[in-house]
Amino acid sequence: MEKLRGLSLFANVGIAEAYFSEIGIDMRVANELIEKRARFYKEIYHETDMVCGDITNELVRDEVVNKAIKEHVNFVIATPPCQGMSVAGSRYNFDERNQLIYYAIDVIKRVNPEYVLLENVPRQLKTKIIVDGNEIGIPEYINNELGDFYNFNSETLIKAKDYGVPQLRQRNIFLLVRKDKSVAWDFPEKKEEITLEEAIGDLPPLDPTLREGIEFTHSKFPDYEKKKEAGLKVSKWHRPMVHSWKQVEWMIHTATGTSAIFNDVYYPQKEGGIHIKAHHNHYRRLSWDKPSRTITQNNGVMSSLCCVHPGRPYECENEILYSDPRVLTIYELLIVMSLPLNWNIPEWAEESFIRRVIGEGIPSKLVKVLMLELLKQI
């Protein structure tokens, strides 16, 4: 079988590449702008030559291209930042991050790999960039630049939940095969969905650590320490999250699959009981009977989009309340993002940083499935 030698552009911390060595893909070169992420990547993937720098800088881009050519790279994966297009982002017209596809295409044309995986949010299909002073849609631009040299997959919209990942996460993915290769690369057959109940339902429940202090935490959650100990027996990453009591109280009174903004009494509010205006997916608990909603970079904050643990109902003083008034733990995020549970997260990485880079990643098993389909065709 032909060996794939890869280049990763906008590599983040290497979430997409988590299973590559397992399936025989040799990542030779990677590029990441942010030094902290590049360091994380290098500590996990020791053999990959990481070029830390701005791909819009011609000297950095030349270094990436030259190293890729020297290493006989025949596969490129490019996952440009999506915040300029994401539904969860601000979506400014012609956000400079949307222009990064221009530099990725330049690298691809110069390296001339046999296979390319280009990933971004679905809104990429409707997003325009400025090239040579003219507006052009990103799909049209990609086709104009690469269509003479590559065959494209027939369908480009894909949901991670259809390929063994317990998370919705819809993405737009272009799979490119150089025209001199007699290979057809398309999405494989869909798999059965994995619900959150199946994915994380057997994990020990956890009470949050309250910002008001440990004594206050114990007063509100008498079993806090016992639950914490049970969680840590599973993993050091299955540990209590820190939240304020007011938000925790709102979520205790919020049923599985619903948002606290619809509560009659314990709803998100400012001083004086003024109702906080929020999207219907803010302060929302996930559902047990479905895959997780898309994990965002702000997954450590309960007010973010649909990131609170589903919880279990229990009776207290003739009232039905719900356990686990907290966001998902990092261990639960590893499962929902389909990362290996023994993924070697560096000791120096703080939790907020880990959560952000995971939220910006593409689910590892989704990429694995796509690459296995290519390897099968090869």
Interval 226-258: pLDDT, tens: 999 999 999 999 999 999 999 999 999 999 999
Domain ranges for the chain, please list them.
Answer: 4-191+363-377, 207-328
Q: What's the average model confidence in pLDDT over 27-45?
A: 98
Work out the average pLDDT over 190-194.
Answer: 97
Tally of CB atoms within 10 A around 271: 5
Q: Give the integer Cα–Cα distance in Å for 365 and 363.
A: 6
Q: Is the pLDDT of residue 1 over 80?
A: no
Confidence band for 134, pLDDT divided at 50, 70 and 90? confident
In a 13 Å sphere around the CA of 54, the CA atoms on its Cβ side amount to 5
Q: What is the pLDDT of residues 57-66, one digit of tens each?
A: 999 999 999 9
- The mean per-residue pLDDT over the stretch 316-328 comes to 95
> Does residue 52 have an active-site annotation?
no
CA separation for the pair 272, 248 (Å, rounded): 18
CA distance 323 to 360: 28
Residue 274's pLDDT band (cuts 50, 70, 90):
confident
Mean pLDDT of 255-282: 89
Fold of 4-191+363-377: Rossmann fold (3.40.50)
- pLDDT greater than 50 at residue 188: yes
pLDDT for the residue numbered 83:
44
The answer to whether the predicted template modeling score (pTM) of the entire model surpasses 0.85 is yes
Residue 302 has pLDDT above 50, yes or no: yes
378 burial via Cβ count (<10 Å: 0-12, 13-18, 19+): middle
- Report the percentage of the chain scoring pLDDT > 90: 82
What tokens were used for 351? 């939790």
Q: Is the pLDDT of residue 128 over 60?
A: yes
Mean pLDDT of 192-202: 98
* Residue 203 CB contacts under 8 Å (≥ 6 apart), including other chains: 231, 234, 238, 331, 332
pLDDT band for position 317 (50/70/90)? confident
List the one residue out of 121, 124, 119 whose CA is nearest residue 140: 124
